[in-house]
Amino acid sequence: MSRRPHLPTSARLALALLAAACGSAFAAGPRQLSEDPGTDRLIVKYRNTATIASVTASGSANNAPATAAPAVGALSLRSSLALRVAANRHGVQMNAFRQTANGAHVFAISRRMSTAEAEALAASLKAGDASIEYAEPDRILQALSTPNDPQYSSQWHWSDTTGGVRAPAAWDVSTGSGVTVAVIDTGVRPHPDLAANLLPGYDFITSATTANDGGGRDSDASDPGDGVAAGFCGSGSSASNSSWHGTHVSGIIAAVGNNATGVTGLAYNAKILPLRALGRCGGYTSDIADAITWAAGGSVGGVPANTTPAKVLNLSLGGTGSCDTTSQAAINSARAAGAVVIVAAGNANTNASNTSPANCNGVITVASTGISGGRASYSNYGSVVTLAAPGGDSGNAILSTLNAGTGAPGADSYGYEMGTSMATPVVAGVAALMLSVNNTLTPDQVKQMMVSTVRSFPATCSQCGAGLIDAAAAVTAAHDAITPAPITVTEAESNDTLATAQAVASVPATVNGGIGSNGDVDYYRISVPASKTLTITLTGAAGTGPGLGVYTALGRKLVEKAGSTGQALSWSLANRGSGALTLYVRVSKSAGSTGNYALVMGI
């Protein structure tokens, strides 16, 4: 059957659902993988074909002298030395393990390193030995995460190579654990493929007629149905069956995955906070605004405090007109609380600049694409659109949780719908995946990362925003933006040369050290991740003025600053490369007396 959006009686008082449906039908894993399994092996291909039966290069955190076991074959003294030097620099031991079919050699590393660390070790080794053709981490590869839900194969929007969002690659890193998504909609049915991810929500509808549940606001967010007879929503309005719109939207975001049942939500380990603000004929702006405020943890008179505030708000709804003051104020309060607000562009095949809240400030406005990756025939467009996501089109709609009742609730079911209402929860799901791996992201950072990682449209999608959302790339961007927790390090002698530099496990870090004599020099080895900017501040105790130097792994001086008594020294460097950068930081007596210092390094 076809289903058209519910229209509000007044565009200024009520908002319409943004869902156009195609035929409703029944259609209907492996563990989540670690985000970076790292490796404890390195592959090294020498330009000659020498066989290495036993070569050992060793180093340790304090860089004790290393020794090499006898080399068998033609490994040169220079290559043996380069192996030891690289190991020393990275505080590991390397032992020859085996030879590959193409003549490369596999070295076992004494500890598991992150991929970035192993890449830095490989680069360091190759830079020190001209006889190396290539050196690279022996990466650990794993089976891609694919849910075992029987109808997953019918959800083209997750994995179709043209129009999908690359969900399987995103699931290898994140499934949304720890994130709450508020769905401000018609409420939700306790569908068995959704119930495990549902939180207690709230019904914000103040009109008993609109609510269709016998009362006004209450703590029951379940959907009683929004079907109406002809003329119920105003003279000339059509009859319509219940939409179960909030249930369908919620399933796109967080239908339970890997439960061998039904479908898979994009953030299938996230939680849904169902907030009922739409009922028969739509919903009032004032009710929706209160739901937005409460969803993010704000206070609403007469409503109990929200004990599970959401970091993502899904608004698959809208109406005509400019963004009203009430809606904008609610959106502003939600964003100030750290919530990402994601809104449907609308289904009228017109410019979304006249659709609210799609035209409000601070939201992520979503257009809809079909399986071709081009703009869906009904989707709104325009300069207010942020990006696009799969929402379905004729012949290829979006499968999710639903209910079979035409008026009151019936049997739980699955069904196909299409609309920007379906595209919006796809983006909300991506936001949940991103925040699951990096919960420090601000709403603006989430939006910027989504926009900067989109795929180009594979088919025509004029005025559909930056591009087609890419779940895998967005999650990777969120992960790469993680700032490690600061650590504190105490200087450990002897660290007075580059070769004996004290390894600092991670940055940001604060090193507490001391210059004990006029000739005392302290070296520290650090790794700066790709695309990060290192900042260094050196502060000496009263009466001291330590000097600062920074060097590359090959000993090239990047900076040398003389100290002044009572003055801190600062320096920064952006690592614009694709791999981690190893640097050596030197602290020495420069001015004033000897004494303690604090070396603060941040990224």
What's the mean pLDDT in 95-103?
85
- Between 361-370, 510-519, 574-583, the lowest mean confidence (pLDDT) is in 574-583
pLDDT at 49: 55
Under 8 Å between Cβ of 244 and 403: yes
The sign of the dihedral angle between the CA atoms of 223, 367, 387, 474 is: positive
pLDDT at 482: 82
Please state, in angstroms and as integers, the Cα–Cα distance from residue 564 to each residue in 119, 330, 521, 537, following that order: 38, 52, 17, 14
Check pLDDT > 90 for residue 60.
Answer: no
What's the mean pLDDT in 203-213?
95
Single-letter amino acid, residue 256: V
* Each residue's pLDDT tens digit, 385-435: 999 999 999 999 999 999 999 999 999 999 999 999 999 999 999 999 999
* Each residue's pLDDT tens digit, 71-92: 334 457 778 888 988 888 888 8
Domains and CATH numbers, the chain: 14-33+145-225+261-480 (3.40.50.200), 39-137 (no CATH), 487-602 (2.60.120.380)
Under 8 Å between Cβ of 481 and 445: yes
Task: Calculate the average pLDDT of the chain.
Answer: 87
pLDDT band at 9 (very low <50, low <70, confident <90, very high): very low
pLDDT at 201: 97
Please tell me whether the peptide bond between 357 and the residue prior to it is cis, using omega within 30 degrees of 0. Answer: yes
Check pLDDT > 60 for residue 20.
Answer: no
Nearest to 128 by CA among 438, 552, 557: 552
pLDDT band at 103 (very low <50, low <70, confident <90, very high): confident
Please tell me whether the peptide bond between 462 and the residue prior to it is cis, using omega within 30 degrees of 0. Answer: no
- Reading phi first (left if > 0) and then psi (alpha if -120 to 50, else beta), residue 344 is in beta
Nearest to 124 by CA among 436, 582, 587: 582
Which active-site residues does the annotation give? 185, 245, 421
Check pLDDT > 60 for residue 360.
Answer: yes
Q: Which residue has the tokens 């970091």?
A: 311
Q: Where are the alpha helices (DSSP H) in 237-337?
A: 245-254, 285-295, 325-336
Nearest to 445 by CA among 453, 601, 602, 343: 453
* CB proximity list for 34: less than 8 A, separation 6 or greater: none
pLDDT band at 370 (very low <50, low <70, confident <90, very high): very high
pTM of structure? 0.72
In this structure, the strands spanning 317-320 and 340-344 are unpaired
pLDDT at 428: 98
Check pLDDT > 50 for residue 1.
Answer: no
- Between 27-41, 204-218, 572-586, the lowest mean confidence (pLDDT) is in 27-41
Query: Whole-angstrom Cα distance, residue 534 to residue 504?
Result: 14
Residue 491 CB neighbours (<10 A): 18
Check pLDDT > 90 for residue 586.
Answer: yes
Please tell me whether the peptide bond between 304 and the residue prior to it is cis, using omega within 30 degrees of 0. Answer: no
Using a pLDDT cut of 70, give the percent of the chain over it. Answer: 88
pLDDT band at 25 (very low <50, low <70, confident <90, very high): very low
Beta bridge partners of 468: 388, 455
